[in-house]
Chains A and B, each alone.
Chain A
């Protein structure tokens, strides 16, 4: 992919990132021009950010998830790239964090702080008290299984509310947690609860349809601008029709995995941005 119409996506990796290969593949299949970059290179020279429309933090175990999942990389983003990220989002760029990338986004504070051009100061985005956390699954185990997500009405401009789609999860610390019910209500009111776990018919799930016991069955969260999105499941692992766990018994004409649409919507929305192409 190298035509100038294709939006540019930057995939960031560091020690322990391990879903970068399939994430690059998903973005390319969806039509983006992708650059895979090590965190150290971006810290040395943040300019690739300015020429991208999308920044993706892929899944993995950044720094082994030592101390807590996503903690160290979240801290590094705040310290070394806070201002650059603030400017990037303020300029209209999309940030997507998947699994460990979602944990990193939570740890970085990017999902808590509204980022707009007025507040993106030199010192990085303002950080209020962090209101959300991702912690140990209720089962206290790593869970690798398929679930259904519903895209909720949210600030995220490119998800289609009401859609229910299958996707795998694979994590041990994905339980969305807030301090109190009021916080959950406030996040919902702010359009931040972008994706929830549901039963295939859309009804509220029990374990294992909700694999981790998240508050409000929340699987994905965006910031108030809708441009920063994080989710625990892995849509990049459902690009081919044979990725689905029941594809050998599914009927109907499935020519690709349901996850591909997620990436296509992101890339299409990014293509409409005035940046990064």
Chain B
């Protein structure tokens, strides 16, 4: 969109599918660009494949045309020139051109046309690019003209109306942000309608009772609780005036769970198995307490900024932040995941004085891809559509920004069907000494980047409430559309301005938009903003909308007056708009004005300190089935056929290959790759962590990995959190990272923590984070929580499994010494490092037994007394270059890890498990236990005969046993003494791991 363009003032009665069939064509030149018949149409082929999933076989061919609407006052010559120069490829395309007001001729019988176009006001970056390019190259005269784009699908066949409806709504269009026209041509061609400036609006609260207070919060989409509404009422009653709408919105944004983390920072009465304890501030007493107690000298900046910062090497530090973007991704998977990446990248741009993003991470938790469509709750998308969408969103945003996506994971569970989780992380490189910033009174408030529109209104408050059946339609204004190239331009300008010292402080516009960014920056001094100075995408936004819009790709800078002109010039040289929207003051107040009228005047003290902190109740009762169970507890039923069991485990969605995702991400850009997410001669080995070489002049690297154990949390949230930390550490250590200097991040996604059982498990997981961080000596440097991940259908609420994602970042002393998980050489020894116990609670082995009487079992948990020493010793032998391949044991246990190493290296293994020091309890099948237990802190190591004595010596204090040898016979053979447990060709292992669903 481009506000300077003169948009036609047609009233935007955006068409709904079911409107009358008026053949009213748009008052614009219409161009439809199709591929020539001889050129393949991959989008069409993808659509046919998607139709097969819906069992629609009435369509034989599908082709996609790119549609453009250009102003009616252009001459035919001008339009044809624009088509030739910009819109049509002479080798690939053919053009259909229609004059303003004329519709395409009726499609031939047997061809259906579906048009998809963005709703008025929804960002259309392509239209914006076209409009600007036409002006820049002189193909249009004067100011940029209004351009709209659409997709024209032509389906050959005999689909019924019902099928067309399904195709349109379930596959092609997201009706939250797009209009869908079935066999109709009346495309809208108009900017969004204007709202009149309404000036200051007051909301009298003084005498309102509870019910009326709550109604104001609910009707206004404020997500403020009754306690909070009362606090606001009392505050303004004390001032003898009513709050303005702008003030209410500001308080709602600032006090939202998303921004204030009231639960994590709040008081809890915790009742665990009948015993009560009081927690004054959950975050400070757990996660933050661990970091403070560890007090690592290499922690530069923790918790208080947009990301955590640690020392790296020489004059350089590293920053890391991971965010959730769950609710937007449920409604618009593509846009939600893309703007999730965009948001966390801005966190890195806005940490300290700004860091350069060098890597992205992503983790998705979605419903099962094989879920029967009829089991998808009303108002939700099928998990396949969600997964495809979020992968594409991360791909397009990360790839376009030129940031390699190097680590992550996907987990599947029924509990995520209605409420998928999308985590996005970014690592940044920042010069040492740039971690601190502070604004000064008198500094200009400079807004840079994208313009502000009506997109993403109430994102912060929306993400703080439950989703429900109508979320798809009622929350459309919360959807944000990203434009990665705008953010790349901001990056280019920002880092240049940073290096010239042109600003004093910076932060990003995230949840809450300007209200959060300016409110936080000015917390210590005060700020005044003139909302009418904010550049807009289109006219007609109310001041409140301007203030809280979460339009993407915007940053706020605090610029000393004497540097303002130079700073603005640096951004303009990158084609980035930079506008002064106010100034920081010394008044301690937040003042908002528009057109000379004061719309808000609120004290920073009340804004940031006035939110009431209620005491909540947390409860936890240990499920009987896992309490105290160990070797003599839940007995895993012996596997009838180990070969079949292993193949089934390899094909389990959590374990199966994610190559179809990884290869869509550019994990090489910036040229720093030292260990890739996929390894081995065929590039199909699932690596544990990735390694980058951030500085060309130094061989010091950084290992990045994640860990999550979502199947453990329902049974034992404490063990789950410890296991997730152990897994993330196992992964970075395998990749060569130093566990003694590893920084970790926590991202909690939980259900509604107003409910005591949800909050109880959150408390236990947070306490586990404290205990494990202290034990491993790995401080948390940043984190984020997303609560209220529940979905309401009628009276029923679906909560997600409590999910903690741990992200880890560790320095690698020398990238030239790291190793990968693929087997390297026949004849080498294979060693198992770590102890195995009967730990099957939440295991994939038990998950395979679905439908049978599955015991809960003891949840795997690391031994916090011994695990840290084991990791340290392992790092020693890895850093010394004594190990040829290393892989951690995780989901599926020993059998899966050995299989992965074998097919990744294209080599066999001959193993004998009888040497594993394990005494099965009576009735327990020792082989089943050895093969599939998911005990933590275990590794398989491949060591050459020459290095075996040294490795054995260096790991002498640790449980270490040789299991066998690497072989040139392409089989995985596992013996138990004389008995053969399984023997499978590595090609069959690879085929099973390749998985069923490939996007």
Chain A contact residues, CB within 8 Å of chain B: 15-19, 21-22, 25-26, 38, 40-41, 59-61, 63-68, 71-72, 75-76, 79-80, 129-133, 135-146, 168, 170, 177-179, 234, 236-237, 239-243, 245-246, 248-249
Binary contact track B885-897/A, C-beta < 8 Å → 1, others 0: 1000000000000
Residue of B129, B133, B668, B885 with most chain A CB atoms under a 10 A cut-off: B668
Q: Mark B648-679, 1 if CB is under 8 A from A, else 0.
A: 00000000000000111111111101111011
Q: Tell yes or no: B125 within 8 A of A by CB.
A: yes
Residues of B within 8 A of A59 (CB): 669
Assuming the A-B contacts A15-B485, A79-B137, are A141 and B820 also in contact, with contact meaning beta carbons closer than 8 angstroms in the complex? no
Residues B138 and A25 in contact, CB atoms below 8 Å apart = no
What residues of chain B lie closer than 8 Å to A141, measured between beta carbons?
663-664, 999
Residues of A within 8 A of B676 (CB): 245
**Complexed CA–CA distance, A179 and B513 (Å):** 49
B177 interface contact, C-beta 8 A: no
Query: Is B204 in the interface zone, CB < 8 Å from A?
Result: no
Chain B residues whose CB sits within 8 angstroms of the CB of A15 once the complex forms: 485, 488-489, 492, 574-575
Query: Quick one: CB contact mask for B125-157 with A, threshold 8 Å, 1 for yes?
Result: 110011001001110000000000000000000
Which residues of chain A have C-beta atoms less than 8 A from B485's C-beta? 15-16, 61, 63-64, 66
**In the complex where A15-B574, A68-B89 touch, is A170 in contact with B666 (Cβ < 8 A)?**
yes
- Beyond A40-B573, A245-B683, A248-B819, whether A63 also contacts B129 by CB under 8 A is yes
Given contacts A71-B89, A248-B824, 20 further A-B contacts (CB under 8 A): A16-B400, A19-B669, A21-B671, A22-B671, A41-B573, A64-B129, A75-B133, A130-B89, A130-B90, A130-B91, A133-B92, A138-B42, A144-B665, A170-B666, A239-B671, A240-B693, A242-B693, A248-B675, A248-B822, A249-B824
In the complex, the chain B residue whose C-beta lies closest to that of A130 is B90
Structural contact, A133 and B663, CB atoms closer than 8 A: no
- Measured in the bound complex, the distance between the Cα atoms of B676 and A21 in whole Å is 20
A-chain residues with CB within 8 Å of residue B91 when the two chains form the complex: 130-133, 177-179
* CB of B816 within 8 Å of the partner chain: yes
**CB neighbours of B818 from chain A (8 A):** 242, 248
CB distance from B849 to the nearest CB of A (A): 36
* A177 engages B815 (CB within 8 Å): no
Residues of A within 8 A of B85 (CB): 75
- A59 smallest CB distance to B (angstroms): 8
Please, which residues of chain A bring their CB within 8 A of the CB of B492?
15
Taking the complex as formed, is B293 at the interface, i.e. its CB lies under 8 A from any CB of chain A? no
How many Å lie between the Cα of A242 and that of B399 in the bound state?
Answer: 22
Contact B575 A40 (CB under 8 A): yes
Beyond A16-B485, A18-B669, A79-B138, whether A246 also contacts B681 by CB under 8 A is: yes
User: Is B565 interfacial (CB-CB < 8 Å)?
Assistant: no
Given the contacts A63-B485, A140-B45, A237 and B573 also touching, CB distance less than 8 Å: no
Task: Sort chain B's interface into a size bin.
Answer: 35 or more
Chain B residue with the shortest CB-CB distance to A20: B402
User: How many pairs of residues, A versus B, come closer than 8 Å at their CB atoms?
Assistant: 174
10 smallest beta-carbon distances between A and B, as pairs: A18-B402, A140-B42, A22-B671, A66-B129, A133-B91, A64-B485, A170-B666, A61-B400, A66-B126, A237-B671
Q: Beta-carbon contacts of B79-117 to A below 8 Å, as 1s and 0s?
A: 000000111011110000000000000000000000000
For B137, what are the chain A residues with a Cβ–Cβ distance below 8 Å? 75-76, 79-80
Q: Which residues of A contact B696 (CB under 8 A)?
A: 25
Q: How far is the CB of B345 from chain A (nearest CB, A)?
A: 12
Q: Which of B683-716 contact A (CB under 8 A)?
A: 683, 693, 696
List the A residue with the shortest CB-CB distance to B44.
A140
Interface centre among A21, A40, A129, A249, by most chain B C-beta atoms within 10 angstroms, is: A249
**Residue B865 interfacial (CB < 8 Å):** no
Contacts of A129 in B (CB 8 A): 90
| Contact pick for B666, options A40, A41, A75, A142, CB 8 Å | A142
Rounded to whole Å, the gap between the CB of B827 and the closest CB of chain A is 14
Nearest residue (CB) in A for B66 is A67
Question: Would A242 and B674 count as touching, CB distance under 8 A?
Answer: yes
Could you jot down 24 A-B contacts, CB within 8 Å?
Answer: A19-B670, A21-B671, A25-B696, A40-B573, A41-B573, A63-B129, A66-B125, A67-B66, A67-B129, A67-B130, A72-B86, A79-B138, A129-B90, A130-B89, A135-B39, A140-B45, A177-B91, A234-B668, A234-B671, A237-B669, A237-B671, A243-B674, A245-B678, A246-B679
Residues from chain A with Cβ under 8 Å of B133 in the complex: 63, 72, 75-76
* Distance, CA A18 to CA B491, complexed state (A): 11
CA distance A240 to B668 in the complex (A): 13
Q: Which residues of A contact B665 (CB under 8 A)?
A: 142, 144
- Assess the A60–B402 pair: CB atoms within 8 A: yes
Given A22-B671, A237-B671; A61-B129 close (CB under 8 Å): no
Contact B42 A243 (CB under 8 A): no
In angstroms, Cα B160 to Cα A138, docked, is: 30
Docked CA distance A155–B552 (Å): 47
> How distant is the Cα of A236 from the Cα of B133 in the complex, in angstroms?
30
State whether A140 touches B46 (Cβ < 8 A): yes
| B671: contacting residue among A61, A132, A243, CB under 8 A | A243
Are B395 and A142 neighbours in the complex by a CB distance under 8 Å? yes
Among A67, A143, A234, point to the contact of B86 (Cβ < 8 A). Answer: A67
What per-residue 1/0 map shows which CB atoms of B804-829 lie under 8 Å from chain A?
Answer: 00000000000110111010100000
Q: Is B790 an interface residue (CB 8 A)?
A: no
- Chain A residues closer than 8 Å to B126, beta-carbon distance: 64, 66-67
Q: Across the interface, which residues of B come within 8 angstroms of A25, CB to CB?
A: 671, 696
Nearest Cβ on chain A to B374's Cβ, whole angstroms: 29
Cβ of B644 under 8 Å from chain A = no
Find A170's partner among B669, B675, B905 (CB 8 Å cutoff): B669
Given contacts A63-B133, A143-B663, A144-B665, contact A241 B125 (CB under 8 A): no
How far, in Å, is A219 (CB) from chain B's closest CB? Answer: 16
Query: How far apart sit A175 and B267, CA to CA, in the bound complex (Å)?
Result: 59
Contacts of B824 in A (CB 8 A): 248-249
For the complex, give the distance between the alpha carbons of A103 and B902 in Å.
40
Q: Is B777 an interface residue (CB 8 A)?
A: no
Q: Within 8 Å CB of B125, what residues of A?
A: 64, 66
Chain B residue at smallest Cβ distance from A76: B137
Give every chain A residue within 8 A of B559 (Cβ-Cβ).
none
**B926: CB under 8 A from chain A?**
no
Q: Which residue of A lies closest to B572 (CB)?
A: A40
Q: Whole-angstrom distance between the alpha carbons of A41 and B569 in the complex? A: 13
Residue ID in chain A nearest B488 by CB atoms: A16
Q: A40-B573, A234-B668 are in contact. Are A18 and B40 (CB under 8 A)?
A: no
Determine whether B680 belongs to the interface, using a CB cutoff of 8 Å to chain A. yes
Within the assembled complex, what's the spacing in Å between the Cα atoms of A26 and B670? 11
Q: Tell me how far the C-beta of B907 lies from the nearest C-beta in chain A, rounded to whole angstroms.
A: 10
- Most chain A CB atoms below 10 A, which of B43, B87, B484, B663: B663
Residues of chain B within 8 A (CB-CB) of A66 are: 125-126, 129-130, 485
Distance A236 CA – B816 CA, assembled complex (angstroms): 19
Tell me, yes or no, whether B401 is within 8 Å of chain A by CB: yes
Bound CA span A132–B92, Å: 9
Interface check B483, CB cutoff 8 A: yes
B483 touches A170 (CB 8 A): no
Query: With A135-B92, A237-B671, A242-B674 in contact, do A61 and B399 touch (Cβ < 8 Å)?
Result: yes
Q: Write out the residue numbers on chain B whose beta carbons fall within 8 Å of the beta carbon of A16.
A: 400, 485, 488-489
Give CA–CA (A143, B999) in the complex, Å: 14
Q: Which of B17-58 contact A (CB under 8 A)?
A: 39-40, 42-43, 45-46
Assess the A245–B679 pair: CB atoms within 8 A. yes
Min CB–CB distance B821 → chain A (angstroms):
10
For residue B388, give the distance in angstroms from its CB to the closest CB of chain A: 11
Partner of A236, one of B42, B46, B671: B671
Q: Which of B400, B664, B668, B822 contacts A249 (CB 8 A)?
A: B822
Best-buried of B92, B666, B822 by chain A (most CB within 10 Å) = B666
